[in-house]
Chains A and B, each alone.
Chain A
Amino acid sequence: MNCQWVQENLSAYMDDELPLKQKEMVGSHLSQCPLCKAEFDSLSEAWNSLSLWEVKHPPAHLKESIRKAVKREKTFNVMRILLPVAAVFIIALSIVFFYRELGDHDQTALITDQREMRQPGTVESVMVDDTEIIKNLQLLEEKDFYETVEVLKTIDYLPFVEEHMDQRSSMGYCAA
């Protein structure tokens, strides 16, 4: 076993990372070789002096800071789900509302158009039955007759016309 190999493995020997057989070989060599032993002592002292570097405990607020950071993340995660859902809901409502308004307007316009079509003076072409016409004429005649009767009732004397043989006519009055 040569010193170079031993010195290359001194660190692993110190850290107990060598297989058992190699560990025993290094140990045996160190007991016989003052050069390698001095190297081993130097490494050990330097390594042990690292223990002088003590680090203070972390500040008391650190645990609380971690807890708050995680809590913020949880809230953010919830918002990350809720916000898009709310946005979709609002958009859907807006679309429904818009089309409802549009539908109402169309209906209103339709009704308005229909009313304009039914204004007085506008003649609608209607199919009329002959029987209906005759009935209506009869009604008109009856109406004239009764109106005439009413007028006669108001007259005291009726005029009459006599016709003579010589074809001369004269007019007189008789009691109604």
Chain B
Amino acid sequence: MENSDRDISLMELVKKGDDAAFEELVARHYQTVYKLAYRFLYDSPEAEDITQEVFFRVYKAAGTYTPKAKFSTWLYTITKNLCFNELRKKKSATIFSIEDEMLPELPSLDNSPVSKLEEAEVKQRVLDAVKALPANLRIAVLLLKYHGLSYEEVADILGCTVNAVKLRVHRAKNFLAKSIGHVSQETK
């Protein structure tokens, strides 16, 4: 049985009140949900809260669940929405739009000769570069890179077209290449 079929079968059981089926669903997906929330928010306690809330909503919605798409797509959509809500709360003091896709100015990097940058520093640059991405680009990058989704699946989750996903990913990669690319060259 494929993973997606198994998830749908489990949800049908949860709909009938099967607690063991719900626990199996949680076991299968809670790490994925946590990692996405953590990479998006950079905060472990918030990622835990989001993960808990995601499965809480899955449980509450079980009674009316109809398998229109893959269960994982639905799960990712809930996670994305909660992450965006959390981000809005944090930036509520300023005019902020999730839909804003303006890329920030690149930070001026240290150009002094360095024979080899330590891996920790590279990791930090990677983290900073991803963190600097606007929310809509960031979530697309995370879903593609760390969760192995296709453009079509990402489009379903983000509620946009495949072409929009293609454009966002292209812009994000260019930005990341400019932020991280020369670091990679220096570490060669």
Contact = CB atoms under 8 A, between A and B. Distances in A.
Contacts of A46: 173, 176-177, 179-181, 184
> Which of the four size classes fits the interface of chain B?
35 or more
Contacts of B102: none
Interface in A1-59: 8, 10-12, 14-15, 17, 42-43, 45-53, 55, 57-59
Contacts of A58: 30-31, 34-35, 38, 47-48, 51
Interface stretch (A66-74, A88-96, A155-163): A66-74
Interface stretch (B5-13, B20-28, B73-81, B106-114): B20-28
A15 B23 CA distance: 34
Secondary structure at the B interface, as helix, strand, loop or mixed, is helix
A70 B144 contact: no
A30 B151 CA distance: 23
A128 to B, nearest CB: 83
Given A11-B169, A53-B123, A58-B51, A73 B177 contact: no
A65 B183 CA distance: 41
Contacts of B130: 50, 53
Secondary structure at the A interface, as helix, strand, loop or mixed, is helix
B55 A66 contact: yes
B150 interface: yes
Output the residue of A11, A63, A65, A66 with the most chain B CB within 10 A: A66
B127 interface: yes
Contacts of A51: 145
B59 interface: yes
A21 B143 CA distance: 26
Interface of B: 22-23, 26-27, 30-31, 34-35, 38-39, 44, 47-48, 51-52, 55-56, 59-60, 119, 122-123, 126-127, 130, 141, 144-146, 150-151, 166, 169-170, 173-174, 176-177, 179-181, 183-185
